Structure 1
Amino acid sequence: MDKHNCTLYSSGLKGAEATFGEEAEKIGVKEVVYSFEGHKLSREKNVIVLSQDELERGDISMELASRMLNRTYYETDKIRKVLQTIFHMVNSGHQVFVVGSIQEDGSVKGGTGWAVELAKMFNRPLHVFDQPQKKWFTWRAGSWQEDSPKIEYDTFVGSGTRYLSDAGREAIGRLFADSFPE
């Protein structure tokens, strides 16, 4: 795979997403950061600010999101816009990589979990680096299976926790190094 034909999609927040962007930039992978008006970013390279109409294309029921993620999301404008932005990321990138924590019920903790649920719904190749376990897992046949994934598609998503551990940072670096050996 030619790294110069690849594009990373994220929302440029601190932690995992900024680190995905930094690693992509180091090796020459294109990066697109989706955002919305008033959203504070840590990484402001190649930002696409989604209009209200574009955001609404990714609209979801907060009740549905709450049910799918087994947690309560209140009807707030900012959370809705974050979830709408995540829709655009997952809709744009074929393969999805997330850094976070897999919960007992199989969901992933936090807003990051929405990227995971969308990837499942869209039948995207999905990989999560579970920071507490310090291991990568791939979603296959309805369950998480330990794996050593590589970037295998021209478009991919890098998402995850704002609270990136050293193990999470190393996992992202290793993912790029293994996927694009010099």
Structure 2
Amino acid sequence: MTDRSQITLFSGGHKGAETEFGRHAQIWGIKEVNYTFEGHTVERSQNLVVLSQEELKKGDISMEIVSKRMCRTYAKTDKIRKVIQSIFHMVNNGYQVFAIGWIQPDNTVKGGTGWGVELAKLFNRPVSVYDQDRKSWFSWKDNNWVQDTPAISDKSFAGTGTRNISNDGIQAIKDLFERSFGPAGQE
């Protein structure tokens, strides 16, 4: 895929991995759309889409289903519900999903990032996670995490992940962009 002007990153603009995905998209000349909601703080405001209550409801799902799928419970359900609803828009619009975080023994991914990964699985989207402990990319294939070297190959992708991104996680994003589009600044 060579025409970067036809490619769009969908993200949330939050501190950490999402900021790094956006920063790299900008360096490589890729469009960026960041979803948020009223009262939520973002670090990256390029092409910010503030979702209305009606738009957020499109991503609504029972917290019981989320808890069961993620193998955990959530105490602050009102705020986490809005986060989960906004993640729906990222994954729904980005065909491929890339995340930075930690794959847990139950095959979920730690934190809110995990919901984006679970949605990608539910939507049968290509999904890859850079596991910061194992310092490697893994892709979900045949209901298993398989070590991989993914590349962005579609015109739309979602980039998400932990607020606590490591230097290795930042390098993994840079390497992903270089693998997908060549060195920055070259068409």
* TM class, shorter-length: over 0.9
RMSD after superposition: 0.7
1:26 paired with 2:27, answer: yes
Q: Is this contact kept in 1: 2:11–2:90, CA < 8 A? A: yes
Structure 2 unmatched runs, 5+: none
Amino acid at match of 1:28: G
- Identify the residue that residue 9 of structure 1 maps to in structure 2: 10
Q: Check the 8 A contact 1:65/1:73 in 2, yes or no.
A: no
Corresponding residue SS for 1:77: helix
Separation (CA, whole Å) in 2 of partners of 1:49 and 1:141: 36
CA distance in 2, matches of 1:113, 1:64: 14
Map of 2:162 onto structure 1: 161
Cross-structure match for 1:57: 58
Name the residue aligned to 1:123: 124
Instruction: Look up the match of 1:94.
Output: 95
Give the superposition deviation at 1:76. Answer: 2.5
- Structure 1 gap segments, 5+ residues each: none
Q: Given that residues 63 and 77 in structure 2 are in contact (C-alpha distance below 8 angstroms), is that contact kept between their aligned partners in structure 1? A: no
- The amino acid that maps onto 2:34 is V
CA distance in 1, matches of 2:77, 2:70: 17
Partner of 1:176: 177
> Is 1:63–1:73's contact at 8 Å kept on the other side of the alignment?
no
Report the Cα distance in structure 2 between the residues aligned to 1:71 and 1:63, rounded to whole angstroms: 10
CA–CA distance in structure 2, aligned partners of residues 89 and 104 of structure 1: 25
**Aligned sequence identity (%):** 56
Task: Measure the CA separation in 1 of the matches of 2:4 and 2:102.
Answer: 28
Separation in structure 2 between the aligned mates of residue 125 and residue 57 of structure 1, nearest angstrom: 22
Q: How does 1:125-164 map to 2 (within 5 A)?
A: 125-164=126-165
> How far apart in 1 are the matches of 2:42 and 2:6?
25
Cα deviations across residues 79-113 of structure 1 (Å, max 9, x unaligned)?
Answer: 10000000010000000000000000100000100
Conserved? CA contact 1:31–1:45, under 8 Å: yes
| Structure 2: distance between partners of 1:77 and 1:39 | 12
Give the Å deviation of 1:75. 5.4
Query: Would you say the 8 A contact 2:96–2:156 is kept in 1?
Result: yes
TM-score (norm 2): 0.96
User: In the aligned structure 2, how far is the partner of 1:77 from the partner of 1:25?
Assistant: 32
CA-CA distance at 1:146 after TM superposition? 0.3
Query: Which amino acid letter does the alignment assign opposite residue 79 of structure 2?
Result: K
Q: What is the rounded CA distance, in whole Å, between the counterparts of 2:76 and 2:22 in structure 1?
A: 30
